[in-house]
Structure 1
């Protein structure tokens, strides 16, 4: 999947009232359901001269997926455009369908 395809698949999740950790759970759940490989990440993000830590995001197909990263970079964008991210891959299991539906409202 390219950047635009990932955006079409995930953009509606931006409307949820969730923080980066919960939104990352929603993202990995949707990606897993579609069979799209991903890596859940935990680390820090430098935005506007300040560091946000801890911060969660997802990586897939050379893209960073982060709808809570700040005004300048949010959504789905090429990993090469995201030098401010530093983190480690973590295990973030997909949500059961009923929980996804509750959180995605």
Structure 2
């Protein structure tokens, strides 16, 4: 896999780093709106090639079993996984799955 990008390290006179729009013919400072002269700039193209050493087959994560009654079939145990989907100061989300296929999500 090859990755190419154009890198133009440049700062405006106001101190803001300049970002270049992909298809723009002019470079304009986002802070002070100055239009910058680009006639003296050289473009440097950098490439990096990645070699994939080994492909690993991912297996479906089933989770751990817990004593939690399934609302779908009244089984005594369900599998569960947790994830932090909301901000860090809020609780995690618990995903319960039963062998019968019933799924339940609880915001803790």
TM-score for both structures, normalised by structure 2: 0.25
Query: Between Structure 1 and Structure 2, whose CA radius of gyration is higher?
Result: 2
Greater relative CO (CA pairs within 8 A, separation 6+): 1
TM-score for both structures, normalised by structure 1: 0.25
Higher helix share: 1
